[in-house]
Structure 1
């Protein structure tokens, strides 16, 4: 993480860094510490964008106008700062906005700067970047790549410089970025919490000393900070002199081809990162180690095959050039050569661990489990292959929704979507010029407008655009993982159905959660997410065995839905129960079947759409089963179809897993999502 941040500080055109990992691992602390170490730079006084007075090509429109008028550009020194993007930021807050009312009334362009204006020549820190709307992430990455932010509103345009170091953080368990957006980040690192108790104690002690303002603690690291700051300043000035030869570029391309990287962005990023690393390590030309360290960071999120450093000698840079690049002199204080090698090694091990978890995890990953449901042991059946689903489209809804998707047409509160009509509004954020002109035209004579004059507008003339776009849904799978699901490969069929629906949900921008219940409890194994890879990993590790706490599972699914509705009341939840309906563990000290029926009635009362898929074959109608229920009261529950009964109490549609073809599973979800209440 430290190395990736340093390289972006030296060469911002690398394209930023994405830091993936669990919360509380010092991601934001490292970013803020970097800002304090970077050298000061000149900024034009009074400029909204902090323009560089020595870079005439990157000046904003106001600074250029001042130069054309013959005025000087007074400037002063300023340190870089960290500009944070709020997770709930609107598009106007990010890119800025043009005052269209002033443009229509007076013909002048009035720009209100946004976050991208503040971030120019600074560090833009985006926490939980995976939770931002995709179009906002796209805007950020476009500005980072082009160095310019362009705002266009109804034919009125404005542009300003926006060159910044982009740092994004995310927790993969909360959902992943789409591959096209993920690829736009130059570098990527995975961080994990420290498991060693002694090191954790040391971290806590250092944090306590820092919070106290302990001078001895600050002085202990002052020299290291000073050396690192000086090394960064020297590297920024030296990077333009780093020489990259044809042998270096061929090695970079060979690494990318061997890693089966898609596209060519990785080659460019590694080239820039290798230059920055060579400058930082005081190399006249990148060494083989520099290139592989840069490749490790640039391919962590792009490589489909692991990066191997033990390549043959034919892929190394030309001999003379490598010798020149390997001549080095360590920065003062013995820093940073050793520490960065360790960082690269850590990044490699983290990448390998992540790769093994995502790609090599087998269905039987739970060690020590064997088949044998009747004995109380657990087994992990193989998941079926996924299959293609027919298109699922939902009827249009008039409610305004925050979340995007591709499932059903619905009104949207931002500027995305198709303009369908206009309406008057007290505060207009998305002006409908055509409707505004039509509203103002009949009043021009009364307002005294003469021929050739500008249109005379009043606030009541302004009209807001109403837009519609496709929206997604929240699908909560409540899955029975008890011993009975091990029979007839029920769990394998269930996994295949869920994975197929998950892939369709990813395409449609749906969010999916998975709840499993077995033994004596239920567990939310996957919080609402749009990450198919995360869901696949969780399902592959899912084992079966034990008793059936059906009530626990229904309550857990119900709570997930209610929690998400509290966060966003506009979402469309669907609860999908996959079970044989034979609950045998009590939650409220009542008969398990009666408890499950009460929870089903609660779900119906809350108007939560539901779908029940019976994982068992229905034998309740057979004469032998009916006779057994009459002579043995303990088997009376087997004389009814428990899943059909629960579906009826939930107001849900009932389907049998073995009666449904693969296409019919998609049709079942389509019908349920399309139901209106």
Structure 2
């Protein structure tokens, strides 16, 4: 078996390694969410961590990994007697790393009851899932942002409660499920919901190193590992062993570490200053600060521990809008730390000391855990040693020479950004409107004059709650919140013969199917019902699915007239926000001048869609046919990639077509083709003014689409229409 890449051999990524090590010391912190661009060794580092975790005692024969010292009282393999020793059914094993695939089912995650055996043979057989396998170990979810919502909910509930429940068809099973939860994600592929972000204890942003020397060292070590994994792992075995021993020592020291009132007050002040929701942030910062003190061999938490813990625990809790990226203002953090009031107890204030005061500075100098040393500081991602001279795995090992990467690495290492912590990558920066120059529009100016004037930019109006647009019919796509579909979750609307393993039982339909066979099976009067496998029925449930929402936006000069484009961008941003909340994929086609472009290929990242839309220039003629043709091609390609995900085409235009030999006729022919292909569409009519040509309405009729005026896209717009209709009726 090929050994995993050694943890100590990882170059850079100081904050990521620190966050993982702190959770290894104190799993109560709540896990780590790793955000970063592709190819940044996120998975490599996580898989390497498992080999550093201390070995543990397990009750022999227990499929759920119960601790002999304190076994779980309701364990399905129990009851176990507490205090068993090695000679009485106890085995020693390493902590497990369990990986949860993105495509896993609910049964694979929490386990499954064999309903067929239970009903036909009278045996209540339960098969444990991945949560049971991960108990007292590490549960790793790669691409956690792509995991179905109901699985994420189950996963995080188990992580918070330390227990997993299986409730199905009148049978209940529960077991212990305490694990270190680690999730990785690429923000380009979509964000997690804010409430799910908050459930991860710490969050780290990583990026590839920009320093050539460091990139060379990464490649050198990776090639050496691929050439001879066993030999490479052996060269770093001592360094990994030192880290593993240090984790074990820190775990034993942790219960004795004190949290002075001054530092607890500082934590509360920082969390209140940043206006984080709830008290989970306070608890996580406190637990992380205690783990940091234990990791550095201290018996009490210092201001530096609080600073480093807050830097890892608060960024993802600052997210207020789906279009925002998790970040933290470093200067604001320093100001909050330094302005914390003294605790009510004067003795506690003396225990804590002032942030950056002489005592803390002396401690940092002695231990090497201040701004310029130690794994806890995150200030030198290329080469770091803690205050005791222990190897942290980044710049001093068998491969380092006199010009190795441990001399002058970039401040902060890859993804650390100096003492400030995580540096967002190109797709992770906070989305703010960029300077657009002259955005003035003139009433009554035709698009030819806009074409000669060059590109124009319009600031987007603020997004609002949008009305629901759904795909026609009933689909069978991934569970979501937009269109009707047959799904695993939802309202039961019927029953059917199971096509594979029975995972849910429709009891009434099963009894009806068996009732017709009772006489032939020789059932005695008043005797038990005789069931056969052919009688079993599973429920058919109807819920909602997620869709591909493809925007086809007119960015020509006619859209820029009368300052219309700002309102158009605001409406599309509202629809993007709605798509985020309904777990859809989104894409963006724009057309202007003489051509159309796929500005945003279909993705789950509405953040990227918002960025493209805000930067969208306007001007030129209106190639409506080119826009519809590009949209049709994009839908065909996506149908091949994901045939079960239905699409909703939203065309945002005033209906004009002025580019091409037969602009109107060609556009209508393409619209007829889209309608014949069964594409569900909505036309958002952007025409304004007293005199209206009704061109968008004609396009909607040819598409078989719903025609919606721009003002009625949002709920506020609909409310205004309703008020206007009531006034007219009166």
Q: Do Structure 1 and Structure 2 share a fold, with TM-score over 0.5?
A: yes
Match of 1:333 in 2: 389
Instruction: Measure the CA separation in 2 of the matches of 1:467 and 1:221.
Output: 53
Residue 384 (1) aligns with residue 461 (2): yes
CA 1:318 to 1:57, structure 2 compared with 1: closer, same or farther past 3 Å? farther
Q: Which SS does the other structure have where 1:18 is aligned?
A: strand
Task: From the superposition, tell whether residues 70 and 272 of structure 1 become closer, same or farther in structure 2 (CA, over 3 Å).
Answer: closer
Match of 1:563 in 2: 637
Contact in 2 for aligned 1:52/1:59 (Cα 8 Å): no
CA distance in 2, matches of 1:25, 1:338: 15
Which stretch of the first structure deviates more once superposed, 556-565 or 462-471?
A: 556-565
Segment of structure 1 superposing worse, 647-656 or 141-150:
647-656
- Which residue does 2:215 correspond to in 1? 200
Q: Is the 8 A contact 1:296 1:348 kept in 2?
A: no
Moved more, 649-658 or 35-44: 649-658
1:401 is matched with 477
1:6 alignment partner in structure 2 = 21
Alpha-carbon distance between aligned partners in 1 of 2:715 and 2:266, rounded to the nearest angstrom: 48
**How far has the Cα of 1:596 moved from its partner?**
4.3
Q: Residue 258 of structure 1: CA displacement?
A: 0.5
Match of 2:683 among 592, 607, 612: 612
1:500 corresponding residue in structure 2: 574
In 2, are the aligned partners of 1:63 and 1:73 still within 8 Å (CA)? no
Confirm whether residue 320 of structure 1 aligns to residue 351 of structure 2.
yes
In 1, the alpha carbon distance for the partners of 2:73 and 2:205 equals: 34
| Deviations 1:300-343 (CA, angstroms, capped at 9, x unpaired) | 11126745123335447723344599487556434459999957
How many Å apart are 1:6 and its aligned residue?
A: 1.1
The DSSP-based 3-state class of the residue aligned with 2:317 is coil
Out of 541, 554, 570, the residue aligned to residue 628 of structure 2 is 554
2:228 corresponds to 1:213:
yes
SS in 1 for 2:298: coil
The answer to whether the aligner puts 1:573 opposite 2:647 as a matched pair is: yes
Equivalents in 2 of 1:355, 1:265: separation in Å? 30
Residue 192 of structure 1 deviates from its aligned partner by 2.2
Q: Secondary structure at the match of 1:318?
A: helix
Work out whether residues 105 and 455 of structure 1, in 8 Å CA contact, stay in contact via their aligned partners in 2: no
User: Is the Cα–Cα contact under 8 Å of residues 575 and 608 in structure 1 kept in the other structure?
Assistant: yes
Contact kept in structure 2, 1:227 and 1:332, CA below 8 Å: no
Q: Displacement of 1:562 after TM fit?
A: 2.6
TM-superposition CA deviations, 1:23-67 (whole Å, max 9, x none): 211110110111122222233343322333233347833242588
The structure-2 alpha-carbon separation of the partners of 1:460 and 1:70, relative to structure 1 and needing over 3 Å to count, comes to: farther
Is 1:170 matched with 2:246? no
Alignment correspondent of 2:722 = none
Name the CA distance, whole Å, in 2 between partners of 1:58 and 1:296: 38
The higher-RCO structure (CA 8 Å, 6+ apart) is: 2
Q: Deviations over 1:465-509 (max 9, x none)?
A: 111223343321111234443322232121121122233334444
Q: What is the CA-CA distance between 1:565 and the residue it aligns to?
A: 2.6
Are 2:282 and 1:267 equivalent residues in the alignment? yes
SS at match of 1:333: coil
Aligned equivalents of 2:467, 2:231: Cα separation in 1: 66
Give the Cα–Cα distance (whole angstroms) in 1 for the partners of residues 620 and 213 of structure 2: 38
Deviation at 1:82, TM superposition (A): 2.2
Q: Structure 2: which 5+ residue stretches go unaligned?
A: 1-15, 320-327, 343-347, 354-358, 368-385, 396-408, 442-448, 720-730
What SS is found at the alignment partner of 1:383? coil
The secondary structure found in structure 2 opposite 1:262 is coil
Structure 2 CA distance, aligned partners of 1:456 and 1:656? 61
How big is the shift at 1:21? Answer: 1.9
The answer (yes or no) to whether the contact 2:139–2:180 under 8 Å persists in 1 is: yes
In the TM superposition, 1:454-603 aligns within 5 A as 454-518=528-592, 522-529=596-603, 533-545=607-619, 550-580=624-654, 596-603=667-674
1:271-310 Cα deviation digits (max 9, x unpaired): 1111111111111111111112111111111126745123
Counterpart CA distance in 1 for 2:53 and 2:673 is: 58
Which of 51, 54, 71 does residue 36 from structure 1 map onto?
51
**Deviation by residue 1:96-151 (Cα, 9 ceiling, x = unmatched):** 11122333344432101211122122211111111111111010111112221111
Cross-structure match for 2:139: 124
Unaligned runs of 5+ in 1: 622-639, 668-677
Match of 2:334 among 292, 300, 309: 309
1:630 match? none
Alignment partner of 2:618: what SS?
A: coil
Deviations 1:72-100 (A, max 9, x none): 64333322332111111111111111122
Moved more, 118-127 or 431-440: 431-440
Structure 2 residue aligned with 1:227 = 242
Deviates more, 1:474-483 or 1:561-570: 561-570
In structure 1, the partner of 2:498 is 425
What is the match of residue 155 of structure 1? Answer: 170
Q: Secondary structure at the match of 2:290?
A: helix
1:594 Cα deviation from its structure 2 partner: 6.1
8 Å CA contact 1:67–1:73 kept in 2: the answer is no
Q: CA, structure 1 residues 64+297, in 2 after alignment: closer, same or farther (shift >3 Å)?
A: same
- SS in structure 2 at match of 1:496: helix
- The 2-side partners of 1:149 and 1:656 are apart by 49
| SS of residue matched to 2:530 | coil
Alignment-derived partner of residue 115 in structure 2: 100
Q: Tell me the secondary structure at the aligned position of residue 159 of structure 1.
A: strand
Which position in structure 1 is the counterpart of 2:124?
Answer: 109
Cα distance in 1 between the residues matched to 2:677 and 2:201: 46
Contact 1:424 1:462 in 2 (8 A): yes
Asked if the contact 1:381/1:491 (under 8 Å) is kept, the reply is: yes
Residues 213 and 373 of structure 1: is their aligned pair in 2 closer, same or farther, counting only changes over 3 Å?
farther
1:591-637 CA deviation, whole Å, 9 max, x = no partner? 6666545543432332212333454569999xxxxxxxxxxxxxxxx
TM-score, structure 1 normalization: 0.82
Pair 643,453 (structure 1): closer, same or farther in 2 beyond 3 Å: closer
In the superposition, relative to structure 1, how do residues 231 and 482 fare at CA in structure 2: closer, same or farther (>3 Å)? Answer: farther
Compute the displacement of 1:393 (Å): 7.1
CA 1:489/1:8 → structure 2, altered by over 3 Å: closer, same or farther? same
From 486, 498, 508, the counterpart of 1:411: 486
Equivalenced residues, count: 640
Match of 2:508 among 412, 434, 445: 434
CA distance, structure 2, for counterparts of residue 175 and residue 603 of structure 1: 28
Alignment pair present for 1:137 and 2:212: no
Q: TM-score if structure 2 supplies the norm length? A: 0.77
**Structure 2 contact 71–82 (Cα < 8 Å) conserved:** no
